[in-house]
Amino acid sequence: MNWAGPEFVLAIIAISTGGWLVNNWIRARHGYALEDEWGGKTARADHAATQQLKAENAELREQLNHFTDRVKVLERIVTDKGQTVAAQIEALRDQPQLEDRK
């Protein structure tokens, strides 16, 4: 191989360009800022949309947690023998009302 020939220089340029393309492809796929040809970073254009989706995702997770707790309570009520729930309802009926206290 001729180290001083144009083939070697072109091979170095091709390898460097290929590495830069693979690096930017990986960065774009994972949501990182892209690197331009001068080493600077270019933010993604859909950054605002990504932030909005993250906020919506957090809100939906909170709702899911809330509904999970409610389903647990409903499952406990449904699987209860019925006597405990009836006793609790009767105990609530037997308590004096707030209007009666005044």
Distance CA 5, CA 7 (A): 5
Q: From first to last of its 102 residues, what are the pLDDT tens digits of the chain?
A: 667 788 888 999 999 999 988 988 888 888 777 777 676 676 666 667 778 889 999 999 999 999 999 999 888 878 877 677 778 788 888 877 665 554
Distance CA 9, CA 16 (A): 11
Distance CA 98, CA 102 (A): 7
User: Which residue has tokens 């647990």?
Assistant: 72
Q: Which residues contact 38 (CB under 8 A, 6 or more apart)?
A: none
Nearest C-alpha neighbor of 88 from the set 76, 99, 100:
76
